[in-house]
Each structure stands twice: as C-alpha cells, then as structure tokens.
Structure 1
Amino acid sequence: MDKIVRLNTFYKSLSADAPADEAEIRHFNIIRVEDTLLHRNVTVKYSRRSFFKVSIIRGRSNIHYADQFFEITDYALVFTNPLIPFHWEIIGQEQEGLVCIFTEDFFNQFGNIAGYPVFQRPDAAIVPLNAEHYARFKQLFEKAYTELAGNYAYKYDLLRGLLLEIVHEAQKLQPALGTPTAASNASERIASLFMELLDRQFPIEMSNQTIKLKTPTDFSIQLNVHVNHLNKALKEVTGYTTSQLIQERILKEARVLLKSTQWTINEIAWSLGFEEANHFSAFFKSRSKVTPKHFRLNSID
C-alpha cells in the first residue's frame, strides 16, 4: 500500500520548496505545467495524495481517470480528486498550462469544494476546451497566479473566488464522455474500483487524519453509480455487501491502531469516521467480542 503523497513530497519531486507562508492543512499554490515537466522524465501513475488539483493543459495527452479514458488532442481542464485513481500520460512534446494545488481545508468554512460534480464524477472531471474557452480559462488561472504573488490582505479570499469561478464555468460546459477501460465485465470493474478507493484510505498514519468515505452512498457517489447497483456488483463478485466490506476494512485498521499506536480510543474512533467513541466501541465489540480497551490491554489477535 502506497503511503500518502503529501505536499512536501510533491514539491520535492519538482526540486522546489513549498511556499514558506503556507501550512500543509490550508495550502494553495499555482505551478506552471512547463515547470513540473522539467523534473519528470517519465509519467507517474496516481498514488494517494492529500491534495486536490485543477489543471488547464495544452498538448496531446491521455487521461486515465477511475475506469475511464480520455484522449486530449489540444486543450482541456482536469479536476483531480485525491481519492480517485488518476494518471496523466503525456503524448506530445509540447505541453503548457497551469496547475492549481490546494487542500480541502483551504475551503474550510467557505463551502464544500469536494461536493461539486467536477470532483465527484469521472465524466465531469475532464473538460475538453476549444481555443476560445482555453483562452478564457487560462486568463483566470493567470490572474490567480499573479494574485498569489501579490500582497493584497484578502488575496486568499480572492483566490477562492477565482477557483470557484473556474469550477462553475467548467460545469456549464458539456462534460466529456469517457470510454470505460477493458474489464471482464462491468461488475468486476466496479468491484475493482471500489476496493481501490477503500484501500487508498488506509493505513491511517496520523491521529488528525480521518477517512472520507464511510458509507455505501459515499462510495457510490465517487464511482458515479447507484448505491443499489454498487451493492449488487460487489455481492456478485465478492459475496459480500458494500457495508460488510467497509466494516471489515475499518475493523482491520482498528485492530492495527489499537496494537501499534498510543492514540486514545477517542482519537482512533475519530480517525475511523465515528463521531462518538461509544459508537466505535459498540461496533468493535459486536465484531470482536471484546471492547477496544480489552483488546489493547490483552494483545488479542
């Protein structure tokens, strides 16, 4: 299981330092595509990240997003959700554009940025552009790039507004329709993507980290399928329901955290998506026949 690729790791891959005035938790930055390519001789497949990306690109490339494939012949906007598998395959030698990098907490108290369709659905995440649209969107990116370097006291509010304008304008355009990648059948493809999304939330490495996808509905939204269809596919392929698979993986992580960390039961409960520690304790006891505290003290396997 790959560890989370955090912002400092991302910047090291570019041989660049993260902005000194930006904390990891509320990060925002804009980088030119040309600069990112200077330090990459090969493309790298998606690994779990702690941040979102919005990119405007020009050049021939292939985008692999979840189970869909998009061929970009010239211009496109790309919205990347850190929970969904993503791979940018560069085809042409000439590439240009800008990449906006930010954490979900950058929008804390300003709205749910992750809830917009461009970050929820593969068919809305890749938006092909014509030359006119490209020029309009690039102007917004360039304005954000300039404002970020300025000293306006409320520049981050302005940057949030510019990013939201990009999101809304993109959603007004007709989204691309991707072609599902080959798989033995639709159920196996859905099951494979579900298991990848589930596993990418683990391991939990810090006590202030919490899983984002906790319910069958959460996963169905990310995969752009009806929750009943998801459950049917998983039952067909694995023999288990969506809820059973989620609960079993959470239980497995709970056992690891109880044995390998000094975190409190409250901290473990919160990291695993439980709002109340007593709910976590009831969940754990119903499946392990002992309380979390008893499990930890007696080193039960």
Structure 2
Amino acid sequence: MNATSLEELCYRLSTGSSTDLSALLPTGIQQEAGHFNVFNLNDFAQPAREKPALPYACRAFYKISLLIGRSQARYADDTVEVTQPTLIFSTPKVPFHWLPQERQSGQFCVFTAEFLQPTKSGVLLDELPIFKAPGYPIYSLSETDYLHVKGIFEQIHAEIATDYVYKYDLLRTYTLQLIHIGQKLQANTALHPNHNASVRMTSLFVELLERQFPLETPQQHIRLRTAIDYADHLAVHVNHLNKVLKETTGLTTTDLIAGRIVQEAKVLLIQTDWTIAEIADCLGFADVAHFAKFFKRETAFAPGAFRVQANSLNYT
C-alpha cells in the first residue's frame, strides 16, 4: 500500500466513513492473533506544512508511535508541542489531530483491543493506566529511553517478517514492553499532580542519590560523588539544581550528598569489618585523611573513634 492510500484510509477510518481494516493488516495474519501491524514513517509521503492537521492514527486502532521531528498534537482543548524524540499513545476514545512542522521520522504500530486479549486472561487495554489516566499520553524521551524504544520497534519489524509460528505472542510481548515504558514515564510525571517542576526535580535527585546505596562490598564504589556529577546526570546546570534543592529542602546539593554519605559511612563503620581505608575508597574519597576530615566535620568524631564507641555501646 502506498503512502497516499494509507493517509486516505486513516482519514476514512478516523471519520467513520470506512470500516475496512484489512488494508492495514499483514497478509496471512492468524485469526486468533487479533489485528496488529507496524510501519516506518520514512516509508510514507510526508504531509506538507501548509496542509490542515491530519487525524493522527486510524481511530479504529490503538496506536503507539515513536516520533522524531517537530510537530503538534492537537486535542480538543489543548495543543502539545513535540520537539524531541517522543513516545505517543493513541486510543480510539480520545481523538486528536497531528500537524507536522517538518519532515518526520520514526515508527508506529497499530492494533485492536483484541490483539492483547486473545484469551480470557488477556490484558484489558482501557483498564491500563496509560489509557485510563487523565492527561495526554505524550512523553519526551531521554537518549537512553529513545534507544530502548527504537530497539523494541526494530525487534517488532524483524519479527513480523518471520514465519515463526508464535510470532504474534512475541509481538504482544514487545507491545506490552512499550506500554510499560510509557506507564513508567507516566508515573514519573504524575508523582506530583500540580506538576511542580522544583518538587519533581528534587524527587529525581533524591531517587538518584539513594540508588548509590547501599554498598555491599569494599570493591563497590559510588558512581556520583559531587553536585556537578548529579547535575550532569539530571541534565541541568549545577546552579539550577542547587537553587531548586535549596528552595524545596533548605539544603544545598552538597549538603544533601554529604548527609547521605556520612549516613552510609556510619553504617559501614558499625556493621562491617572493612578497614577505614576501604570505606573511604568506596565512598569516593581520595585517601583516609580526606575521609577522616570529612567525617569529623560532620559528626565531631574521627572514624576510628566512632567505630570504637559504637562497638562499645553495642557490647554494653
């Protein structure tokens, strides 16, 4: 099927003037597999910018799209700007229009609800958070998430071309992977319903900080040690991160990092038999002297004295 006929068919389906799904389905599809297919946007004619917005997705289908290129998703009461690699989930129940601002690339898959519920134990699509929660399921992707999603679409393209007898079971698994990626992104953006950017940044920082711990062996080392390390990982300027954390917690980035490191140091001194040099090393200090100076500043005890006192209290 050529690009023009695909565009026309999608429009007819979206407006209810056509119910012929067969043109979008791969040949030889198993009846029990439901309806599923995958497309690459590079294979289709690109709508010109001066054309009116097109219904984005065939309304008879659920659709998962990976979009690259500037465009707009226009809903009844809002317009969402798409400016970076983006994962979009479409449902027949929520109409919207798509207006490309430049040539697009990316991929999308279309499927009916029956595709994910071939048995009584199948997934009820409309009960999934990605299709049930309020708001628009449009998620900008980090470089890591983009590569992950792109890889899944590549697996879908490769698998649908095979004659593997259980390939639609595998394609369901890939589709569910995409849905769960979206739901993780949805959960991150829904942590705070008021969409307070400062609170969200603080939440991301705290999560990243906690993921450095606990340390299980002397060979394990924390990966992020300084305020700049965390700012780089969160893709913000260190001054902005400091400002946000100061507003939301009353402490600077360095204060929060130091507090968590000293907390871990106390645990290691009390609960392990690691040498002080090993503890200093895995906590990211250049040598024992730097660690001892830091620990005494934070606790008023030298590491060795703290360990002796803690052990004495435990013994007593």
TM-score (norm 2): 0.48
Q: Which of 33, 41, 49 is matched with 2:41 structurally?
A: 33
Q: Distance in 1 between matches of 2:57 and 2:181?
A: 28
Amino acid at match of 1:103: T
How far has the Cα of 1:111 moved from its partner? 1.2
How far has the Cα of 1:2 moved from its partner? 3.6
Matched residue SS, 1:62 = strand
In structure 2, the partner of 1:138 is 150
Distance 1:71 1:78, change over 3 A: same
* Contact 1:98–1:141 (CA under 8 A) maintained in structure 2: yes
1:71 aligns with 2:84: no
Q: Which of 28, 33, 53 is matched with 2:63 structurally?
A: 53
In structure 1, the partner of 2:206 is none
Cα RMSD for the two superposed structures = 3.0
Q: Distance in 2 between matches of 1:96 and 1:167?
A: 20
Q: Which has the higher contact order (CA 8 A, sep 6+)?
A: 1
How far has the Cα of 1:4 moved from its partner? 5.2
* Contact 1:66–1:122 (CA under 8 A) maintained in structure 2: no
How far has the Cα of 1:85 moved from its partner? 1.3
Distance 1:135 1:25, change over 3 A: closer
In structure 2, the partner of 1:217 is none
Q: Which of 79, 92, 105 is matched with 2:102 structurally?
A: 92
Q: Render the CA deviation track for 1:70-128: whole Å, top value 9, x for unaligned.
A: 111111001000111111110122x1111101011112222112321222345351111
Amino acid at match of 1:102: F
Q: Which of 141, 146, 153 is matched with 1:129 structurally?
A: 141
Matched residue SS, 1:97 = strand
Which stretches of structure 1, 4 residues or more, deviate above 6 A after TM superposition?
none
Matched residue SS, 1:54 = strand
How far has the Cα of 1:46 moved from its partner? 5.6
1:120 aligns with 2:127: no
Distance 1:66 1:138, change over 3 A: farther
Q: Distance in 1 between matches of 2:15 and 2:108?
A: 23
Q: Distance in 2 between matches of 1:24 and 1:83?
A: 24
How far has the Cα of 1:39 moved from its partner? 6.4
Matched residue SS, 2:88 = strand
Amino acid at match of 2:83: T
* Contact 2:59–2:95 (CA under 8 A) maintained in structure 1: no
Q: Distance in 2 between matches of 1:25 and 1:126?
A: 27
* Contact 2:73–2:97 (CA under 8 A) maintained in structure 1: yes
Q: Which of 148, 165, 176 is matched with 1:164 structurally?
A: 176
Q: Distance in 1 between matches of 2:83 and 2:147?
A: 16
* Contact 1:56–1:78 (CA under 8 A) maintained in structure 2: yes
How far has the Cα of 1:26 moved from its partner? 1.7
TM-score (norm 1): 0.50
Distance 1:44 1:89, change over 3 A: same
In structure 2, the partner of 1:297 is none
Q: Distance in 2 between matches of 1:88 and 1:57?
A: 11
* Contact 2:47–2:100 (CA under 8 A) maintained in structure 1: no
Structure 1, unmatched stretches of 5+, are: 12-16, 178-301
Matched residue SS, 2:168 = helix
1:21 aligns with 2:28: yes
Amino acid at match of 1:120: K
1:105 aligns with 2:117: no
Distance 1:119 1:112, change over 3 A: same
Q: Render the CA deviation track for 1:123-172: whole Å, top value 9, x for unaligned.
A: 35111112221111110111111111111111111111111111112211
Matched residue SS, 1:57 = strand
Distance 1:92 1:175, change over 3 A: farther
Stretch moving more, 141-150 or 44-53: 44-53
Structure 2, unmatched stretches of 5+, are: 1-13, 193-316
Amino acid at match of 1:114: D
Stretch moving more, 99-108 or 23-32: 23-32
* Contact 1:61–1:72 (CA under 8 A) maintained in structure 2: yes
Matched residue SS, 2:92 = coil
Stretch moving more, 166-175 or 76-85: 166-175
